[in-house]
Amino acid sequence: MLARAGKKVCVIEKQAILGGLASTVSRNGLTFDVGPHALPTRNEDLIKLIYELCDDDIIKVPRSTSIYHSKSYFKQPLDLKNVINNIDYGTGLKILFELLLLAISRPFSQTNFDDSFESLTKRKMGKTIYELFFGPYTHKVWGRNPTEISHRLASQRLAKTSLKDLIKIFFGKESEDHDLHFKDFFYHKQGIGKIYDNMAEAVKAEGGEIFLNSQIIEIKRNESRITSIELDIDGRSHKLESSFVLSTIPLTDLIRSITPRFESKLYKIEKKLSYRSLVFLFLQVSKDWARDDQWIYFLDKKVPFNRVSSQRQMSNHMISGNGTILCIEFSCDEGDNVWNQDKNYFYNLCIPELVDAGLIEESDVIDYFLLKRNNVYPVYSIGYLHELRQVFEYLKKIDNLVSYGRQGFYNNDTNMSRCYEIACKASSYVMKNPQGTSIWYEQLFKSCGY
């Protein structure tokens, strides 16, 4: 949008490829996504844009996702009838009884829950569903007890898996069609990262520049404006003058990169904000798995990984022969014991679980390799919103800096389509309001329910 409006655009990317956490990588002649990521949207402007950029390479793919738990597969989003049919009779009755009590008591109940994920989830879904599905998985993904995680994470996730929807599905009716539970999605037949490659070509065609392998050394400011950005590009120093900066880098990295430094109070506040990291193990296997799912979530706490996805189920244009690339995701904190392990460690952890789930045999594995990504998911510790608002009070003082996106706005309630939409709004805001960002942040806080 900015390039087409005649603005001189410079894109700074830390990695060697575009797309960030939704990139497409190549190795040994294979092409596959980190993730992989889908683009679910009904936004006509966004749909028009991706077809304009990619034309016939855009395909629409039916979504299929499952949960694997206690040696059974469950539908995702949760289907109450499917849950009851896959668990023992006593547990099924317990779930039904708890949901019935919730349905009866909800109109008369007071919102007197504490500020934790566990408390709100039990109030919305019942103790048994929480302990079967939401509690163990949340503990594994975030590496923290759900009593230490803000209820806002539950509010964002459970708005899409409501008690009302569970009951409607149980009686054979359609649930409300929330974005998180999309039925199909748009995808580039050669990988989601190809959309970004085409965007980059469009930017360059308008006179813009793309800087890859670029590490930000310093973001210089005067009292109220960013004046320049100093980069390290493949070991060489490079300076960019800036009239306006749109940032999606982790909020904490942004704060630490700006000079002169803010008052010391800010750095004590931002240290309370943290991100969860991911390790991706990729398995090249000779046989496709016998499921239609693109993604399978593993909820058991004893299973060391969170999710497995298959590239062939995203697009069969990317995989030749009969095999596929499986992506296995492990949550960790950057620098901890899990983060520091090598590919053999993760391979030995996951193979028994994948075989036990009936997805592969170890003899199917041709090769395996590892990627690590830090600062993936903002951690919603109890009280985080207070710190977040204080951080943005400082950023509001800079008239030509907009921070947004999952990492840049510290917001997990987003997918690719929402990221695109917010990016378009940010670009539009910049063109209409070249001086001042206070209104932008207030609008963004309001749209996120903050």
Segment 171-202, tens digit of pLDDT: 555 554 445 567 899 999 999 999 999 999 99
pLDDT band of residue 110 (cuts 50, 70, 90) is low
Domain(s) labelled CATH 1.10.3110 in the chain stretch across: 78-181
pLDDT band of residue 157 (cuts 50, 70, 90) is low
Question: CA torsion sign, 33 to 37 to 38 to 39?
Answer: negative
Which pLDDT belongs to residue 123?
Answer: 87
Residues 6+ away with beta carbon under 8 Å from 262: 255, 394
The yes-or-no verdict on residue 94 having pLDDT over 80 is: yes
In this structure, are residues 361 and 355 in contact, taking their beta carbons and an 8 Å threshold? yes
| Six-digit token string for 106 | 């909800």
| Six-digit token string for 368 | 């395996």
The yes-or-no verdict on residue 449 having pLDDT over 60 is: yes
Residue 287 to residue 365: CA distance in whole angstroms: 9
Which pLDDT belongs to residue 114?
Answer: 61
If you ran DSSP here, which 8-state letter would residue 410 be given? T
The yes-or-no verdict on residue 441 having pLDDT over 70 is: yes
Q: What is the mean pLDDT of residues 308-329?
A: 93
pLDDT band of residue 362 (cuts 50, 70, 90) is very high
Share of residues in the chain with pLDDT > 90 (%): 68
Cβ neighbours, 10 Å, residue 45:
10
Q: What is the mean pLDDT of residues 71-80?
A: 87
The least confident of 1-15, 73-87, 342-356 is: 73-87
Mean pLDDT across the chain: 89
Which pLDDT belongs to residue 10?
Answer: 96
Q: What is the mean pLDDT of residues 30-35?
A: 91
Q: What is the mean pLDDT of residues 135-163?
A: 83
Which pLDDT belongs to residue 211?
Answer: 96
Domain at 78-181: CATH code: 1.10.3110
Strands 245-247 and 401-403: parallel
Domain(s) labelled CATH 3.90.660.10 in the chain stretch across: 275-378
Which pLDDT belongs to residue 164?
Answer: 58
Query: Amino acid identity, residue 169?
Result: I
Which pLDDT belongs to residue 80?
Answer: 80
| Six-digit token string for 27 | 């190795």
Residue 37 to residue 182: CA distance in whole angstroms: 13
- 275-378 CATH fold: Polyamine Oxidase; Chain A, domain 2 (3.90.660)
| Six-digit token string for 296 | 């399978």
The least confident of 62-76, 88-102, 356-370, 398-412 is: 88-102
Q: What is the mean pLDDT of residues 4-33?
A: 92
- Is 42 exposed, middle or buried (CB count within 10 Å of its CB: 0-12, 13-18, 19+)? exposed
Considering the entire predicted model, what is its pTM?
Answer: 0.92
Cβ neighbours, 10 Å, residue 302:
8
